[in-house]
Amino acid sequence: MESSTHTLNNLFAQLGLPSEDSAIQSFIQTHNHLAGNLALSEAPFWTPAQAAFLREEILKDADWAEVIDQLNARLHA
């Protein structure tokens, strides 16, 4: 079975967000002030569907988990 590697661009597209590099950078700059104790999926800017996707993929340790962790780190900077 092949393991897929996802990028931030893929993740943003999966979440239904603009996925160009400049749009991702802008999103991160706008939202990178998350409190250390706030789970990424609990951030107020996600839709319920986006939050559920993020939460479920981390809980399942799915192939999206690594890139979600990367986004989490960047938004908690």
- pLDDT tens string 18-75: 999 999 999 999 999 999 899 999 999 999 999 999 999 999 999 999 999 999 999 9
Residue 40, Cβ neighbours under 10 Å: how many?
Answer: 18
| CA distances from residue 59 to 24, 33, 63, 77 in whole angstroms, order as listed | 24, 23, 11, 22
* C-alpha count within 13 angstroms, C-beta hemisphere, residue 32: 12
Query: How far, in Å, CA of 40 to CA of 51, rounded?
Result: 8
pTM of the model: 0.90
- Residue reference for tokens 């239904």: 16
